[in-house]
Amino acid sequence: MKRKDLLHEMGELMSHYCDGCFLHKQHRKEQGKKYAHRFCITQCTVGEKIKAYGNKLT
């Protein structure tokens, strides 16, 4: 895949699943921004896909 295609896929994933995510809002409210961000990267399936795309970009 080309870089442009990867960035487009990441953007679609984030706009479809991450915008307005209930879990992110709840974790941020209860335990803070740092915990919510870490949860998204390490435990959320969408976050793991985005992380995989990011690794392909580097």
Region label for 6, one of left (φ > 0), alpha (ψ between -120 and 50) or beta (otherwise): alpha
Range of the domain at 40: 3-57
- For residue 36, give the nearest of 45, 23, 49 by alpha carbon: 23
Domain count, the chain: 1
pLDDT tens sequence across 21-35: 999 999 999 999 999
pTM, to two decimals: 0.75
pLDDT tens sequence across 3-54: 999 999 999 999 999 999 999 999 999 999 999 999 999 999 999 999 999 9
Does pLDDT of 58 surpass 90? no
Round to whole Å and give the CA distance between 32 and 16.
23
The pLDDT score that the predictor gives to residue 3 is 92
